[in-house]
């Protein structure tokens, strides 16, 4: 039965820097994703293979999801959001590999991912509304609510990190307990459930990120006074083309 530790353990040191098992496993996950992406995309063709068709369908699904939630050009958000979904999904299932630890069962990893989500909210908000317009939404509907908006920014980031961390850590703990009690064969159905939960948690993380970005933008073509009709009914704001 493999051991499960809540806190990361030091594997080796680089001068004053401690490299933990979480970092090592994260490097392995990143290397696996990069290698798989290279192999899958090195021979792209106009007439797609089954694998290329699957990848294109996944990309289209992510773009469609962004288009439904955000009134901005999806290509600005899709690369980062798709990377988050892919990395978290693979990382959530890394613990199923013998000898590996689930990186997202470490609060340091999930907090770093939550900071990426937090940064995306502000970057997209500033790009869409401009710095002055973006900062102004913190004072809506009144400046008296400014402290509460700032508190909400901090608490939702922490909640995003703790939610993913708690779900993945509890899943690993239950898997270790069942493995110790029932042996090797009985936990197989649970491992399948662990895969489903890992994918769902990755999806939820990405969707919450989209919701936070939408809240940061805080505008809609029907209510934004800067919006005006563009060619073929497209929405144009301050010269920037938005998705219809």
Q: What is the pLDDT of residues 127-140, one digit of tens each?
A: 888 888 888 878 87
Greater pLDDT, 201 or 149: 201
pLDDT score of 192 = 78
pLDDT score of 236 = 43
pLDDT in tens, 90-127: 999 888 887 888 899 899 999 999 999 999 988 888 88
Mean pLDDT, all residues of the chain: 80
CA distance 71 to 219: 8
Q: How far is CA 228 from CA 26, 94, 221, 234, 241, in A?
A: 46, 48, 8, 9, 10
Greater pLDDT, 221 or 147: 147
218: phi then psi, degrees, rounded to nearest 5: 65, 25
pLDDT score of 225 = 37
Question: What are the residue ranges spanned by the domains of the chain?
Answer: 10-219
Question: H helices of 137-224, where?
Answer: 146-182, 188-217
Strands annotated E in the chain: 10-14, 17-20, 227-229, 235-237, 240-242
pLDDT score of 4 = 57
pLDDT in tens, 170-201: 877 776 677 667 655 566 677 777 888 889 99
CA distance 8 to 84: 22
CA distance 117 to 120: 5
Q: Which two tokens stand for residue 162?
A: 């703790």
pLDDT score of 238 = 45
pLDDT score of 224 = 44
Q: Among 33-47, 107-121, 206-220, which range has the highest average pLDDT?
A: 107-121
4: phi then psi, degrees, rounded to nearest 5: -125, 125
Q: What percent of the chain has pLDDT over 90?
A: 26
CA distance 44 to 30: 22
| Average pLDDT score over residue span 68-92 | 89
pLDDT score of 1 = 44
């Amino acid at each position: 039965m493999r051991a499960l530790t809540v806190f990361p353990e030091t594997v080796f040191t680089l001068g004053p820097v401690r490299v933990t098992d979480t970092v090592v496993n994260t490097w392995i996950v990143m290397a696996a994703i990069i290698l798989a992406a290279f192999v899958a995309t090195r021979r792209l063709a106009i007439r797609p293979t089954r694998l290329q068709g699957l990848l294109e369908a996944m990309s289209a699904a992510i773009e469609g999801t962004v288009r439904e939630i955000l009134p901005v050009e999806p290509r600005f958000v899709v690369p980062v959001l798709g990377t988050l979904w892919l990395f978290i999904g693979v990382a959530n299932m890394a613990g199923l590999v013998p000898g590996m630890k689930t990186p997202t069962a470490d609060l340091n990893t999930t907090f770093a991912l939550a900071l990426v989500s937090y940064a995306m909210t502000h970057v997209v908000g500033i790009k869409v509304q401009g710095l002055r317009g973006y900062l102004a939404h913190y004072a809506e509907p009144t400046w008296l609510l400014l402290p509460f908006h700032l508190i909400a920014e901090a608490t939702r980031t922490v909640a995003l990190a703790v939610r993913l961390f708690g779900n993945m850590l509890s899943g690993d703990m239950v898997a270790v307990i069942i493995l110790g009690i029932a042996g090797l064969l009985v936990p197989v159905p649970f491992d399948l459930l662990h895969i489903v939960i890992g994918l769902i948690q990755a999806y939820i993380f990405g969707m919450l990120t989209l919701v936070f970005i939408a809240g940061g933008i805080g505008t809609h073509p029907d209510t934004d006074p800067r919006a005006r009709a563009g060619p073929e009914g497209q929405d144009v704001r301050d010269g920037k083309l938005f998705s219809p």
